[in-house]
């Protein structure tokens, strides 16, 4: 039985937080407004309290009148931003750190940056920022490496074997996976988890093929290519993950999503504006509710 088959048999496998499902259903409906989003978030008081703290932080004008309710926070921060915060914080708390090999703070920082950059790239492609597809780009970016956490927490020996192989041969983590277990990579494992969570097929496909977007169906090609490009830009910059630099070019991917390579520096500069937001979110994550490190 391979690792992907074993996944569904793990008794304590993290489940999709109910609030994420409710947010997804809301975004997919005709009732996606600030009032309904606030009602969903208010069902989770600890999460609501943290979103209020973020809304009252310096990032969103702490010197202004203090926000005391989620509807006011949505008004200040924005529908899309609050939705993203709710999804990110709800999912992060499902994966408390269990081992010392993987730096969870660095992992989630990279994942949050990938989510932000994926949405930024989707905006450049002209997507409707209030639509379901726009929300999928953020979710896919956030979860693109979720298979790495599954390896770390449930298949730790295999995870350490891959890390050792990468270090011994001086290759990237993804290259080591390709050599050792190409059909059980973190991307495939992550895709399998998202299938168990019954997530949207576009998000599942993008995560499963974020290192090989040419293999995805035409229906989901754009989101997979966008996720690949987000990962490529981050991993070949100072904001990469422990996986290491991604080899090869991305010209064909750029052509698919309509983003020129000479636009990458500006994209990276825009992405860097989200660094402070990531720090604030992760600081909230470490504050009693989400023990990441």
Q: What is the pLDDT of residues 181-211, one digit of tens each?
A: 988 999 999 999 999 999 999 999 999 999 8
Closest by Cα among 273, 266, 286 to 121: 266
Q: How is residue 241 written in tokens?
A: 């993950």
DSSP-based three-state secondary structure for 210: coil
Q: How is residue 254 written in tokens?
A: 């750029």
What's the pLDDT at 287?
62
State the Cα–Cα distance between residues 188 and 75, nearest whole angstrom.
38
What's the pLDDT at 292?
38
Whole-number mean pLDDT of the chain? 86
Distances (CA, A) of 144 to 217, 228, 235, 288: 17, 9, 13, 26
Taking the alpha carbons at both ends of the chain, their separation in whole angstroms is 32
What's the pLDDT at 33?
87
Q: How confident is the model at residue 168 (pLDDT cuts 50, 70, 90)?
A: very high
Q: Taking the CA atoms of the chain, what radius of gyration do you get in angstroms?
A: 18
pTM of this prediction exceeds 0.75: yes
* For the chain, percent of residues with pLDDT exceeding 70: 93
What is the H or E stretch that residue 163 is in?
helix 156-169
For the chain, the domains span 16-94, 97-293
CA dihedral over 184, 243, 228, 105, signed as positive or negative: positive
Q: What is the pLDDT of residues 238-275, one digit of tens each?
A: 677 777 777 776 777 777 778 877 787 788 888 777 77
What's the pLDDT at 193?
97
Count of Cβ atoms closer than 10 Å to residue 86 Cβ? 24
Q: How confident is the model at residue 293 (pLDDT cuts 50, 70, 90)?
A: very low
What's the pLDDT at 286?
63
Mean pLDDT in residue range 82-90 = 92
State the Cα–Cα distance between residues 60 and 62, nearest whole angstrom.
6
pLDDT at 27 exceeding the cut of 50: yes
What's the pLDDT at 269?
81
Question: Tell me, which fold does domain 97-293 have in CATH?
Answer: Hypothetical protein af1432 (1.10.3210)
State the Cα–Cα distance between residues 37 and 285, nearest whole angstrom.
21
What's the pLDDT at 282?
82
> Which residues have CB under 8 Å from 143's CB, separation 6+?
91, 111, 190, 194, 203, 207
pLDDT at 98 exceeding the cut of 70: yes
Q: How confident is the model at residue 288 (pLDDT cuts 50, 70, 90)?
A: very low
Q: How is residue 165 written in tokens?
A: 């192989």
Mean pLDDT in residue range 17-38 = 88
Q: How confident is the model at residue 62 (pLDDT cuts 50, 70, 90)?
A: low
State the Cα–Cα distance between residues 233 and 21, nearest whole angstrom.
30
Q: How is residue 115 written in tokens?
A: 């989510």
H-assigned helices in 216-274: 221-235, 251-257, 264-272
């Amino acid at each position: 039985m391979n690792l992907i088959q074993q996944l569904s048999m793990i008794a304590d496998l993290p489940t999709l937080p109910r609030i994420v499902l409710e947010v997804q259903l809301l975004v997919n409906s005709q009732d996606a407004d600030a009032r309904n989003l606030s009602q969903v978030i208010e069902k989770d008081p600890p999460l609501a309290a943290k979103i209020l703290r973020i809304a009252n932080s310096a990032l969103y004008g702490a010197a202004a009148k203090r926000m005391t309710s989620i509807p006011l926070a949505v008004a200040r921060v924005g529908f899309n931003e609050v939705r993203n915060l709710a999804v990110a914080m709800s999912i992060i708390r499902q994966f408390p750190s269990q081992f010392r090999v993987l730096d969870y703070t660095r992992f989630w920082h990279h994942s949050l940056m990938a989510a932000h950059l994926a949405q930024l790239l989707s905006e450049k492609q002209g997507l409707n920022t209030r639509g379901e597809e726009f929300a999928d780009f953020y979710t896919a970016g956030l979860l693109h490496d979720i298979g790495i956490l599954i390896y770390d927490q449930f298949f730790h020996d295999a995870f350490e074997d891959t890390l050792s192989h990468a270090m011994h041969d001086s290759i990237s983590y993804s290259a080591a996976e390709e050599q050792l277990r190409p059909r059980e990579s973190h991307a495939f494992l992550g895709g399998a988890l998202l299938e168990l969570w019954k997530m949207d097929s576009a998000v599942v496909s993008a995560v499963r093929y974020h290192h090989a977007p040419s293999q995805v169906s035409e229906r989901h090609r754009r989101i997979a290519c966008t996720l690949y490009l987000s990962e490529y830009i981050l991993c070949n910059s100072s904001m990469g993950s422990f996986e290491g630099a991604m080899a090869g070019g991305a010209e064909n991917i750029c052509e698919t999503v309509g983003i020129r390579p000479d636009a990458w520096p500006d994209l990276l500069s825009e992405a860097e504006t989200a660094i402070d937001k990531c720090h604030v979110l992760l600081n909230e994550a470490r504050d009693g509710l989400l023990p990441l490190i």
